[in-house]
Chains A and B, each alone.
Chain A
């Protein structure tokens, strides 16, 4: 269906410059961070205030126009792809940090604020917002809340839902609501803040959020440990936590990534290392000192072949940069990279990685595993080429097996990227039908006409 006829009415709401309908504009709002999902919207609309969102949703609801919210478009699950056309509601022009309240450790922001911009502003007041999705240069707080994003530090600090105190949002029927408040403790009724957080833009459009902050840790230290065998790295993680130390980050990189770091940075890491762990300890000086001593001791006890400590911030930064470079190399390594997001119990991580390697070896596929070892969230990435149907199918079958293995190991199919379109087909296979049924019913209450981000999370009733 075409909705161009509504362009003028939308322009009356948000202003002419904030409604785009050209072929090119529709094209550049047809994708997200995935390589496979695209669909053009009919119209692109930029609200600049909550009341705009209210009026747009009223109009859309009355006329049954699909509306897909979009922040930075960095998600990797097809979440912001307007699969049914209609309106893409782009939140990037609502990008003001409304207030920072150092005394109450909270900030009020508009949904389109990019995480890095928030962190920069907070750092000036020696504060930070702990959730750290590695897409912080592009992801917006609206998208981060909608995906309940997490990152390396969630081992110690948790994920987004622990840091959202209140939300201002607009329901698909065009009603402005405020959920939660600005206090950490709040048990007034059902926790609708948590319900909307992680709802992938299907229940409400978030326009403002009150975020919980923490004081910026005054000290931090980075440690790298290399292992000649994978299970040893898994054992190390367990033992460090047992010893009572919770590093802010524990990142796991496999041999493939270690080699590409060497290639890119010339760091000269052992080429035969089966795994590399990267730790960051943070806190006050003495806590960091104590924790890093613990980490180093355990790594050595378990039998790391090499332990490197970054004694100054520049060196630490160089290490983390090398990790990002290694990460990025994964995506440049093949025309299509199927990057998964499974999470398994920490204790079964090594075993699971070995299974992944075996699955891919059997199918003659190149794979690399990187992940957040502290919480068992792993990103096995299978290299393929969508333009080569035979190879691509083979890769997709391997991914199916990987996901089934994760579930078999007691894990889940997505740790932080969400379901969107990308993981739908696994929902029915891996979830109790009542779970999907309850979600559908909740969705119907919020969105009786099914206009908000339709077609996501679960497959069509018909399909």
Chain B
């Protein structure tokens, strides 16, 4: 049998950083709603420390504490002692899952549905058929009826797309000009099944910026929702498959903040041998968020970006996804793009990098708090007067649309890739 708390022990030094000042409370979106110590990084840290000292069993109460975290890293960003509670919580979840297994719903989804692309598609088809029976909200959103309260009573969920990205996008999209790079496009589940048109648009932008784009069919789920929930075992298989598929490209580009950070963190959580660690690190270095790739890697001439006519005269604001701003340090790049788009007005909302409250499955298991956290976002969006909120994370988009719909706010939620097209290489150069 594996050593008890094998994963957590690897992050023992992180756990022991905490000096109990409690400053995390000010930054924790959950604590700011609940005001209870167990929700706080300090509380979680103390429980995990206690487990490492052999004074705390992996009880239901322990799981509730470590499960009640968005992994938004806001507290990590400001922690004076630089405590990596995100590492500690993720590893503690893994040890819990290893000892006690996942809750049944997550078990089925992670172990049987997510790893099998075809089955996933089928399951979603079936779901979309059921969705047809649900009351329709605005646009492509539906309201979940009361009896599905496990998924959050009254919440708006997106329609499953009529055609998945795989059936729309060719495997290879040639560069418009002389190819600069050969890149692998990592769509991620939400883009593949819910927002396939965003996937198409991103690929189109990259192609016109002279990249050969391959939508490699071998890709699967990035594994982030799986390993961040503690199922390292399943996620290792997913990681193996994605690394295998993508390691020969110049870059792996994704329009999903969570996938980007999810792929980049393979070495932290999933490398169980030194060889794998090295291989995962090499792979992670190739992973680039769409914004970062356009600005930092391609250093694209932003004059070539043309705002789509339907956005002319609109005012937009940017929502920083946690997985972009805090996990990948991508903050300035999307703002540069938005500010460069002629005909568009850009305004900052207050606390643009405040978590939207989704936290993956957190929004399903803790919908009540998740919704309250999202309401602060709606307030900030309303106050800045934007017609649309732009971001680069399909997860955040789903959450924001739900939040804005609940308030009947007439504000669009867009992926940055939807806003513009790229003019072919300008003639004057």
Tell me the A residues contacting B by CB distance below 8 Å. Answer: 20, 22-25, 27-29, 31-35, 46, 72-74, 90, 92-93, 95, 112, 114, 116-117, 135, 137-138, 324-325, 327-328, 331-332, 335, 337
Contact = CB atoms under 8 A, between A and B. Distances in A.
Interface stretch (B22-30, B131-139, B268-276, B317-325): B22-30
B19 A138 contact: no
User: What is the interface residue range for chain B against chain A?
Assistant: 20 to 34
A285 B85 CA distance: 43
Given A24-B61, A25-B38, A327-B80, A33 B26 contact: no
A161 to B, nearest CB: 23
A94 to B, nearest CB: 9
Given A24-B65, A25-B38, A27-B50, A73 B80 contact: no
Given A327-B80, A331-B19, A28 B43 contact: yes
B81 interface: yes
Contacts of B19: 33, 35, 328, 331-332, 337
Given A27-B56, A29-B37, A135 B50 contact: no
Interface string B1-16: 0000000000000001
Considering residues B37, B65, B78, which has the most beta carbons from chain A within 10 angstroms of its beta carbon?
B37
A95 B31 CA distance: 12
Nearest to B38: A28
B20 A46 contact: no
B355 to A, nearest CB: 17
20 contacts: A23-B56, A27-B46, A28-B40, A28-B42, A33-B19, A34-B20, A46-B36, A90-B36, A92-B35, A92-B36, A95-B35, A114-B25, A117-B26, A137-B25, A138-B21, A138-B23, A324-B80, A327-B80, A331-B81, A332-B81
A112 B31 CA distance: 13
Nearest to A116: B26
Contacts of B43: 28
A135 B21 contact: yes
A462 B64 CA distance: 42
Interface in B124-178: none
Nearest to B23: A137
B81 A72 contact: no
Contact of B26 (A114, A331, A332): A114
Contacts of A27: 46-47, 50, 56
B192 to A, nearest CB: 39
Given A28-B46, A33-B20, 8 more contacts: A24-B38, A28-B40, A28-B47, A35-B20, A95-B35, A138-B26, A328-B19, A332-B19
A2 B59 CA distance: 21
A262 B50 CA distance: 34
Nearest to B65: A24
B61 to A, nearest CB: 4
A439 B50 CA distance: 37
Contacts of A95: 35
Considering residues B27, B38, B65, which has the most beta carbons from chain A within 10 angstroms of its beta carbon?
B38
B21 A332 contact: no
Considering residues B24, B42, B59, which has the most beta carbons from chain A within 10 angstroms of its beta carbon?
B42
Contacts of B234: none
Interface in B39-53: 40, 42-43, 46-47, 50
B37 A325 contact: no
Contacts of B26: 114, 116-117, 137-138
A74 B20 CA distance: 8
A165 B50 CA distance: 42
Given A25-B61, A328-B80, A332-B82, A31 B38 contact: no
B62 interface: yes
Contact of A74 (B21, B46, B64): B21
Contacts of B46: 27-28, 31
A224 B384 CA distance: 38
A97 B22 CA distance: 21
Nearest to A112: B35
Contacts of B37: 25, 28-29, 73, 90
B328 interface: no
B35 A73 contact: no
B62 A73 contact: no
Contacts of A335: 16
B361 interface: no
A196 B27 CA distance: 30
Nearest to A114: B26
Nearest to B44: A28
A72 B37 CA distance: 9
Contacts of B64: 24
A31 B47 contact: no
Nearest to B62: A24
A71 to B, nearest CB: 10
B25 A22 contact: no
B20 A31 contact: yes
B17 interface: yes
A419 B64 CA distance: 35
Contacts of A46: 35-36
A47 to B, nearest CB: 12
Interface string B68-94: 000000000010111000000000000
Top 4 closest A-B pairs, CB basis?
A328-B80, A138-B22, A24-B61, A137-B26
Contact of A23 (B23, B24, B59, B82): B59
A112 B37 CA distance: 14
B13 to A, nearest CB: 11
Contacts of A327: 80
Nearest to A20: B36
B61 A23 contact: yes
B22 A33 contact: yes
Contacts of A28: 37-38, 40, 42-43, 46-47, 65
A46 B34 CA distance: 11
Contacts of A29: 37
Contacts of A332: 17, 19, 81-82
A432 B128 CA distance: 79
A34 B27 CA distance: 21
Contacts of A72: 22, 25
Contacts of B42: 28
A371 to B, nearest CB: 18
